[in-house]
Each structure stands twice: as structure tokens, then as C-alpha cells.
Amino acid sequence: MLTDLGRDALWEYRSDYAAPADFDTFWASTLTEARAHEIGVRLTPVETPLRLIDVFDVTFAGFGGHPVRGWLKLPRGVEGPLPAIVQFHGYGGSRGSELEQLHWAAAGYAHLQVDVRGQGGVTPDPAGSGPAYPGHLTRGIESRETYVYRRIFTDAARAVDAVRAISCVDPARVAVVGNSQGGGIALAAAALVPDVAAVHAQAPFLCDFRRASLVAGQRPYTELTGYLAMHRTQSRSVFTVLSYFDGVGFASRAAAPAWFSVGLMDDIVPPSTVFGAYHAYRGPKEIAVWDYSAHEAGGEDDLRAVLDAFGPVLAEQ
């Protein structure tokens, strides 16, 4: 069933999010600190039964110079420079198997699958944090400096730097993509690295936090409401911290052509929060609205659409 506003109301909805005055300087200084470390991209060939795709285990320096892992998949025998896709995974997930997610390389792209730090993969988060509600969403939420998504979003920007440092990649033709948490990270990356070429955000999480805290009935957003139920006097400070990490703020600073999607029966990421980011998005944009879909949004139909859309956008000029 519908979990949020109806279609007509979603087109009218505008988030009441307001970015803090020092949003841009905070992120500029964060990225300057991160880029003081050499990107240090290391590619280790991985043996697989694949005959048409080469796979590499990738390591690069993210926030604090910490090592971030990923898979790089390349179409075998195709000479560069190649357009590139940087992909971020969903909440609590991982980069997955080297044998999964083969469609981007099969379509002729260099494909970097980033392993989000401190979640279900192989990239640790060396930075500690204070008390948190079970999950990842409130880790380090006592300050903007310690909040976990400061590190994750910085890693995302550095992932774009990393793929651009690979010799077979055309640095002018890099897109960022993801679903759920990955979609929210992609929006952040598009704002923090404003010359990326395209964005796909499928049912993006991490947008319009205050609205999400009021209407979401499922994890992960209920981790935030659970935390605030235990720390009843901290809602003002928590939302002040989150204002530096809200996808609506990043969307309003991103200019690359963007494709969004949303399922109106999504009870994990409320559709209004997706529309909050979509309406704020500064660059050219489209959104696919799936009336009877939940958190999967358009699934393979979204994939087909974005493969078609990215073709001309990322074509060699």
C-alpha cells in the first residue's frame, strides 16, 4: 500500500531542509585534508572463470588516508580511454562477489564497485565513535567531525579521484550510481566532485532526514528515531549534525545530468524524501515513478533505462 504522500502531493512537496551557512567550507576543508594523502591506487588482478571481463581487487586512500577496497571490472580487449561507472552499495552491504554486477563492464565501461567502510564488506572503519543505536546510521552522530558519513562521503569523492587515476579511464567521463544508501552516496559524490558526468540515484537513502524521521516505519531510519527516543534532549543537536550530510543539500549543489527513481510503496525510504532531493537537484534531471513498487523501485527497468541514458552522455566526444 502507499506508505507516504500520493503521486500528486509528491510533485508538490518541497523539503524544508536548509543547509548550514558553512556547509560548503566544511566539505571543502574535509576534502582538502583527505587529498593531502596520495590516492595510492593499487590494482591486483583476480583470477576468475570470466572470459570477457578482467577483474582487479582495488585499494585506494580514502578519508584519513585509510585504505578503501573495491572491485574494478574492465571489458577484456577493449582499448581505452574508457568511460567509468563508480558504484556504491546499499546499507550494511558490501562490494559483493567479483562475479556479480557484470553488466557495466559488459556494456563497455570501466566499473569500480566501492566497498563502504565499516559495513558488511572487507573495508574497516579505523575511526571510533561514541554510543550509537544498533546499525550504522547514528555512529558518531554527536558531532559533524565524528559522524560516520563524513568518512563515507569523503571515501566516495576519493573513489572518483581513484578511478580517474587509472590509466585506461577517461577522467572526463565518470558517472556515479547506486541504489538506496548507494544512491544517497552517489548524490553526495556528485556534489563533492562537481565535474562528474552523470548520476543515477535509485530510491536514494540519506535524504530529507527530518521528514524521514517522522514518517519512515522501517530500518534504517528507525535507528535514528530509536536513538532520539533514548537521547530525548539531543534532537536539536542531532539534526544540526545531519544538516551537513543531507542528500537534499548535496542535490542542490550537483549539476551533472541525473536520473532518479522511486517506488511509491517503499516503506524503507519514504518517497517524499526522494522527491525532496529530486526537486532540489540543480542539474538536468528525470525521475521514474513506479506506483506499485517498493524499495526496489524499477529494478531491472531502471537499469535498462539508465544504460540507455548513459550511452550518449558518456560517449567519447
- The reported pLDDT for the residue numbered 201 is 98
Task: Provide the β-strand partners of residue 86.
Answer: 112, 176
Average pLDDT of the residues in 102-126:
97
**Domain definitions of the chain by residue range:** 7-14+22-312
Which residue type occupies 9? A
Domain 7-14+22-312 has CATH 1.10.3720.10: no
The DSSP line for 277-301 is HHHH--S-EEEEEETT--TTTTTHH
Amino acid found at 263: G
CB-neighbour burial class of residue 264 (10 A; exposed 0-12, middle 13-18, buried 19+): buried
pLDDT band at 112 (very low <50, low <70, confident <90, very high): very high
With a cut of 70, say whether residue 317 has pLDDT above it: no
Residues 66-94, mean pLDDT to the nearest whole number? 96
Q: Which helix (H) or strand (E) holds 176?
A: strand 169-179
The pLDDT assigned to 1 comes to: 79
**Does 152 have pLDDT greater than 80?**
yes
3-state secondary structure of 309: helix
pLDDT confidence of residue 53: 98
- How many C-beta neighbours within 10 Å does residue 279 have? 18
Q: What is the model's pLDDT at position 313?
A: 97
Residue positions annotated with a catalytic role: 180, 266, 295
Across the range 180-192, mean pLDDT stands at 98
Q: What is the pLDDT of residues 276-311, one digit of tens each?
A: 999 999 999 999 999 999 999 999 999 999 999 999
Q: DSSP character for 217? A: -
Instruction: Taking residues 148-165, report their average pLDDT.
Output: 98
pLDDT at res. 80: 81
Ramachandran assignment for 50, one of left (phi > 0), alpha (psi -120 to 50 degrees), beta (any other): beta
Q: What average pLDDT does the chain have?
A: 96
pLDDT, average across residues 63-88? 96
Single out the residue of 299, 219, 218, 184 nearest to residue 3, CA to CA.
218
Q: How far apart are CA 40 and CA 43, in angstroms?
A: 10
Average pLDDT over residues 232-255: 98
